[in-house]
Amino acid sequence: MFIDVGYFSQGYPLIDLSINGVICKYVDAGIRREHYHLEKEKTEEFWHYFLDEYFFGPERLADKYCGPGATMAQVEELMEKYIALRLFLVSYICGALLPEYDKVIREAFGF
């Protein structure tokens, strides 16, 4: 499956996909509405639907990234790490780490 993330691309699919997770789950409501024209509940639904289609579709990419027989829970855990990495990169570029992002990063990496 080819997904064009344009200028948000870093060159590795999971990092590139993580921007959608950030927007769907963690950004300000105004930015979320600007990008998806939906409220948080709907963008989170979209995110889960997207993960299912992307990782469990015909190519079964979940097995590639999480191992044979991968589950949605494993995919979600993996993507949380990439979302946390994206949040860290954005915070570093902006020069400030928001407390809510710090919490996500610490939980994703277990510290």
Q: What is the pLDDT of residue 24?
A: 85
Q: Give a yes or no: residue 58 inside a domain.
A: yes
| Domain span holding position 59 | 11-83
**Model pTM above 0.75:** yes
Q: What is the pLDDT of residue 71?
A: 97
Q: What is the pLDDT of residue 7?
A: 52
C-beta separation of 87 from 20 below 8 A: no
Q: Give a yes or no: residue 103 inside a domain.
A: no
Q: What is the pLDDT of residue 9?
A: 54
Number of Cβ within a 10 Å radius of residue 11: 6
Q: Give a yes or no: residue 27 inside a domain.
A: yes
Q: Give a yes or no: residue 45 inside a domain.
A: yes
Q: Give a yes or no: residue 33 inside a domain.
A: yes
E strand segments, the chain:
none
Q: Give a yes or no: residue 36 inside a domain.
A: yes
Number of domains in the chain: 1
C-beta separation of 55 from 30 below 8 A: no
What is the mean pLDDT for each group of 10 consecutive residues in the chain (111 residues)?
53 83 85 82 90 93 95 96 90 81 86 80
Q: What is the pLDDT of residue 3?
A: 55
